[in-house]
Each structure stands twice: as C-alpha cells, then as structure tokens.
Chain A
C-alpha cells in the first residue's frame, strides 16, 4: 500500500494528464498515441500505462519514422514497445523515401515530406480520429494558445479561430467526418517539469540525452554527431570526439548537440537550471523566421 503524497505541482500535472488521456479513450472512436521516442514521449507512455492500469492501454502507438533518426532511438523504441506490450505502428512515407529527401541540404522539405506529410498519411490510412502527442505549450510562443484538444479540419489543418474553449477542462470531442483531434496531455508541463518527473518516477530515456564522448563535426555552426555514413564530410570538416548530449531528439543531421558533462539526470537538471538557451534552440529547422512554428502548424505539423 502506498502513502498519499501531498499535492505537489508534479502530482497535479500527472493527474491532469491522466484525466486527459482517459477522456480521449472514453470519447474518441479510434485514438492513437504519437510516439517520437524523445523524453516527452517517454513521459507520455509512462502516464498512459498509469492511466489504464491494470488494463493494457486500449490504443496503439504510432511512430512516424523519417528514416534519419539516431540508431539508438530506434533500438530504444523497439525495446520499450516489447517491454510495455503496447502495439507499435511504424509509418514511413515510402513515396518520400523513393524520391529521396535530403535533411542536410533541404531540411524544410525533408521535414515537410517525411514528418508532416507522413503523419497526415498515417492518420488517414489508419482512420485515427484522435492523436495524442507530447507537445508542450512552453516550447514555443505559437503554442501558448493551443488547446488541449486541438481541432484539425480537413487535411489536418489547424485553424486558430475555430479552436474550442475548454473551461473547467471540459473537452468537446465532437467531430464532423473530415475532422480530427490532436490531444496534448503535457500542455501544462515545462521542460523542467518533464525532467523532474522523469527523475521522480525513474523513467528510462534514450541515452543520447546524457553526455558521452561522441564523434562530432560542425556544419553551418551546428555541432552534429555523425550517426551513419549517409552524410559525407565536406572538405575542412572532420570528426572530433567530444563529450556532448542532446536536449531534444529528431533527425540526426537536424539535431544539434551541446557540449556537456551532464551524464546523469541530476546533472542534466542542474545544467538546465543554469543554461541560458531555450530547448528548441537545438532544433535546426526552427531557426527560420521566428513565426515558423505557427506556419508549420497550419500545414498540419504537430
């Protein structure tokens, strides 16, 4: 028998996220959990298991694979799926693979085809009406007004003016036939909350978050870790072993590492409390005009 904790901030965040997930399953016809392998997804999955315990979560998880993820991410994904018993659907935009995309030289196009379009295709193919994702409002100013249950119109488009008010966390899940929902149980969490919760609950995350010596090179000012041979080094570039880690994880040529000595959770949190860079600064694709996130969202990006 456990002892009731006082209601801390983390307790309240956890309870609300579980409520949101249960609401999705209770009200939606065919929900899915979008699993991106990162720390937020790890927290989502942990909450999902708690929300439906002792039942196995009554929904599958979907990973949209751009084929450029770190190998450690894919290994981690497959192991977690096996250990939790949650059904894993992997979706790859085969047409995009056939055409060939280039995350190095055409990052935006690569993301559009292998991530945004692929997600739209996957949701349409499997007829999911609600996709639970790990996006947080604190990630970007454009997300500050996002609803927990975000209505997407035809083509998964987000219309800022059609979003529904959610007083008292009463979520309106009614849909016309071409509409879907994105559900964000971590809306109220900050990056710090995520790490504190991972620490408190002992949640396993991809080892790439922890500092380790890795083969790095610098391109366009970003410190990259070379994960496979598909990107040849250009003249003047060379692989230098450095102790680095990642604050966010994505396609490896699009994810900048930071030099760090933080090799465990406490060190990561300590580093975050001191660092003066926002989380998404490590995402190369976000360094476009400052409103790029809003544009991407309108096009159906998560």
Chain B
C-alpha cells in the first residue's frame, strides 16, 4: 500500500525533502480501529473509496477492481469500490463478508490498522477479534434509516470490549439530500446511544461513500458541517493508551541459554520498569528486584507498556511462564473465581459445569462456568434468563478456575482481563470474555505490606510459628492427642491455639453442611484462619477429620511447606467405630447421617505425613510426646 499524502486527490501539499519525509514516516504512530456497520450501510464501499481517494490503492489493483466491477459488481458496472476489499472467493460471490478482514493504510502522520468487521447479525462473534484490539470504533449508520438494531448491537459489542471512543459515520447523505436537520437528529441518536452504553467519547461525521463527501476533504454538499473530514479525523483523534498503569509483565518464556543468564521474557501489559525496581512475582507473591531490562539486543534504562522485553531478577526464585512480574505496591489482583462477561463463539453451546481451558495473557488453566447469571439482549441490553449460551450470545457468568491467577479487571487492563475459553476435546476457541471482578472478595483486597510481620510477633514470644494439622477418622483420637500436645506446649511457655473441627462448625462454619463442596470450603476457611493465627506468631493446632488429600494439600500450599506439619492420627475404622465416643457411627450405620466419613464418604489417608501416629497401638500420652519432640526439634 502506498502511504502518500502528496498524491491524494484534492490535497495540495508541498513535497518535503526525502529525509524529512522518511523521518516523519519512521516516527509516525498507529491507530487501530474497528469498522462496523450493517450489511447495507456501505462499509466496504466507504473504506474502499477512502483508500482510493487518498491515493493508497496501486494502479494494478484499481484496474482489477474496475474489471471486476463489470463482472460481478453491485453498481451496474460502475466502479464498485467494495471490491477493493472483499477477499475470499466464496464471499465475493455471495456478496457478503463473513469474517474480520484486516486492512492497512497510512499517511505521513499515522499508520492505520483496520479491523473490517462483518455486518450480518449472525456473525457478531466475528467482531470479537476486531473489537478486542481497537482503540477507536467506527460505526456506519445509513442516513435513511438512522440508528438501527444492528447499530446498537455493534456499539454494544464495542463497549463490552472496552472501546471508549466511537465515531459514527453517517453514510449515504446524498440519499437524504444532505439534509442538515435529518443528519442532526441522527447524530443526537448516536450520541445518546453511546452515552447509554457507557462509551465515553462519541463523534459523528456526515459522509457519502459514493460521492466521496467528507472523506479526504470537506464537501461543498455539507456547508453546515464544520468538523474534520474522515481521514483527518483518523489522523488526529486522540486515543488513550495504558501508559500510567502500575507495572505488570506476564511471563511468556524463560530465557536460559546457560547458567550465567536467567531472564523472563514477555510483553509489558502496563506501566514501566527500570533496573533496581522492586517487583513481586504472582501468584506466589515472592519479592525480588529487577537487575537488567533487556530490550531486543540491548540493555534499557526503562521500558514501558507494549514493549517486548526480558527481565533478570536479583534473586534465584522460581518463575515460570504464566507468572506475572509486577509492581509490589499496586500488583494485579489474585483470584480463582470471577464475575465475567462471556461472548460465545462456538456452534456447540456453553454448558455450565463443563470443563474448558482458559487462556489469559500467558496463563493457561482449567476453567468452568459455574453459573450463567443472565444473558444480555444485544439489542436492548435487557437481562434474560439463560441456562446455556449459543454462538453469538453474550452472558454474564461466574467463572471458576482450577487455581489462582493474577489478573486485572478488564476495564483497567485489556491484556490482563481479557480471556478465551478453549474446548479440551475439539481444541476450538469456543468463547471469549472479560473479567469484571474476582468473587469471594479476595480480589480487590491488595496485600497491605505490614511493618510488623510474623517473625517479629513470634520473636517476642520466643517461638517459631507452626501449624500442626491433625487428620484422621472420627474417633481416631485427634482431639484427645491435640489437647495433650497443647497442654504440654503451654506448660513449656509456648503460645498456642487449638482449632477443633466440632467447635469451628458451631461458629465460623455453621453455615456449612457435609457435601463435598461444603467440606472443601470448611477446610479452606480453617486453613486461612490457621494462617492468620500463625501470622500472629502462634503455634496452631488444627484437629479436623479433613478427609480429602486435595484439601489438605490446599492447606499445605496456603500455609507453606516446612511450616505445615501433617499429623496422621491413624486407627482402623473398626477400632474407631468400636470407640464411637459421640455415637455418630451408630447413627451413620442406621442411615441417619449421610456422607459420614468412613461410612458414606471416603477418607483418603495421607501419603507422606510429617508424623504418623497409631492410636490403636500407642497411648495418647506417648503420641503427644512424639509430636512435641518433632515440633521442638
């Protein structure tokens, strides 16, 4: 494509010296915009005409277009500028565009990357790729019809994908005789629509693609229009860039050519970074400091959002693809469950509960939609009930991931808030969406750096915080042994706390039952409480059946290997059942308690506990002695 302002039709510009011209071209910036409109709004014609008028279509392509216009043009043999754009054989014959087409053109001031979006309602999903990267949306409106259903839908999708500035190109003005009053009414409709959708900036330009009105030069047909012609608007419109956000770098690839270099390569999602900056590696939360910022093949003093760089850190810490290196003061949030908007792309419907893979920035993780809160009517934005989503439908959903990820709400950062869902069986990209916020309130709470830490609190107690996690069947003797251990520790001057399953279920967890889901939540809460108690400097004893390995692993991961000591209080089921101190086994056998561990629900014994007690073979006192010895060793 040519990039010449001086051979634009109707534009008289002096030819600058070549060096200056090249310098201008080299330093120009980019505008990425998405162009949308209904099928008959003349979008391809407008874009084709704009390129031709601006002198950006090579002669051989123009000639081909003129030949093709006679063969299968839609203008009765007259030049059909839309033919400059329509690419695929199939769609050219059908006269429709089914997929986003990417167009490139430029002037000395700006290079343009255009996502030319399909118009048909059923191809809404194809707008996603175009809108996701757009800094500006250009929506075509037919001057005869004004704002239509499809106009609303296109604007709504632009809004969903975070496009904050939209230009409404009111086309076919020749067909309303360049009537100012009519144009003004449409312009007002457009501004109102943008306002309703939360789009911050809305502009409008009256154009006619057929007559080239207001494309590269102001048209004498619209003397009442005092604004810029379309090309000048595109050259000068200001769009926001996320330059002043806090630093975040999703790690894409670990660069390790030999043991003298270990770098983390990625593209900066937001903010800037310089050697010496403190950083945190998420989701693990480890702190370090930037040593080198390598960009291309040179060290940089500073790098900022959008640059592809490689960082080296001062500490030998474990960093892998999918981690996010970030500003520790304003780091991305951490969560595993989200409220999100989801646009379904696949012909097979979205089913809540079905397991997909999610890709967000460089992270890939198992995911499922746990609930569709509602479906959004694309035309009215009304909330509709839905149990599934089919292709082109947008839903507001709860999303649950297999583990925590680092993210930012989409409204703050597209790269850390936009995701796709992949089907594990077909490998198709089946959905795309935007994270709105983390659920369970663990997202908007930043980690507050506290001046007094666990070590300081523990020091005045003269002890090292530990978590003794007693697990075993009901009646195995967990509480008995834990009680003895705590008494000995207190006698020796330790500061302790004992969290007992029965007691916690009377208070903190009294809203939970005994389903698998509730058992998981039961343990998660207790592990969190234990962690807080350890932060207070205490030795924490937890006495819970905690039957599932996965949840005990969760507790271990949360508290930290090394500080978490799994105490397996082991006794055969028949021994425990024989003791039946609380009469629970009898009730379970009688069918009065469902899901009782060991009867109606499994107990998964630890595979490698820190200590393995056999309460059927040794006394509770001996067991307690072994536990205390292990702790103080």
Contacts and interface: CB of A to CB of B under 8 A. Distances in A.
Interface of A: 1-4, 6-16, 18-19, 22-23, 25-26, 49-56, 137-138, 140-145, 160, 163-170, 172, 174-176, 187-188, 190-193, 196, 199-200, 266, 269-270, 272-278, 281, 290-291, 294-295
Interface stretch (B56-64, B73-81, B173-181, B577-585): B56-64
14 contacts: A4-B303, A9-B29, A15-B308, A22-B253, A144-B101, A144-B103, A166-B129, A167-B133, A172-B427, A176-B427, A192-B25, A276-B58, A276-B59, A278-B58
Contact of B125 (A165, A174, A269): A165
Contact of B129 (A165, A192, A199): A165
A198 to B, nearest CB: 11
Given A138-B1, A141-B86, A164 B429 contact: yes
B26 A196 contact: yes
Given A9-B28, A276-B59, A277-B58, A1 B300 contact: yes
B30 interface: yes
Contacts of A16: 267, 308
A294 B88 contact: yes
B298 A10 contact: no
Interface in B243-286: 252-253, 255-257, 261, 263, 265-267
B236 to A, nearest CB: 15
B359 A200 contact: no
Residue among A3, A175, A273, A291 with the highest chain B CB neighbour number at 10 A:
A273
Contacts of B253: 22, 25-26
B370 interface: no
Interface stretch (B373-381, B399-407, B417-425, B485-493): B417-425
A251 to B, nearest CB: 21
B299 A192 contact: no
Contact of B429 (A172, A187, A275, A276): A172
Output the residue of A22, A51, A137, A295 with the most chain B CB within 10 A: A22
A170 B1 contact: no
A136 to B, nearest CB: 8
A15 B18 contact: no
A9 B31 CA distance: 9
A193 B105 CA distance: 10
A266 B252 contact: no
B307 interface: yes
Interface in B426-440: 427-429, 432
Contact of B29 (A7, A22, A273, A281): A7
Interface string B83-113: 0111111101000000111111010001101
B299 A53 contact: no
B83 to A, nearest CB: 9
A167 B129 contact: yes
B213 interface: no
A1 B301 contact: yes
Contact of B87 (A3, A10, A141, A196): A141
A278 B51 CA distance: 14
Contacts of A269: 22, 25
A145 B99 contact: yes
A168 B28 CA distance: 23
A16 to B, nearest CB: 8
Given A166-B129, A167-B418, A174-B422, A15 B99 contact: no
A51 to B, nearest CB: 7
A8 B101 contact: no
Contacts of A144: 85, 87, 101-103, 116
Given A145-B99, A176-B427, A188-B113, A53 B297 contact: yes
Interface string B1-42: 111100100000000001101100111111000000000000
A270 B18 contact: yes
Question: Of B101, B113, B308, B418, which is in contact with the most chain A CB atoms at under 10 Å from its CB?
Answer: B308
A168 B310 contact: no
A199 B132 CA distance: 31
A165 B427 CA distance: 12
A165 B128 contact: yes
Contact of A188 (B7, B104, B266): B104
A280 B3 CA distance: 17
Contacts of A7: 29, 241, 304, 306
A8 B22 CA distance: 13
B424 to A, nearest CB: 9
B299 A1 contact: yes
A11 B300 CA distance: 14
A49 B255 contact: no
Contact of B310 (A2, A53, A277): A53
A194 to B, nearest CB: 12
Contacts of A9: 28-30, 106, 110-111
A55 to B, nearest CB: 4
B415 interface: yes
A266 B22 contact: yes
Contacts of A4: 300-304, 307
Given A1-B300, A187-B102, A196 B22 contact: yes
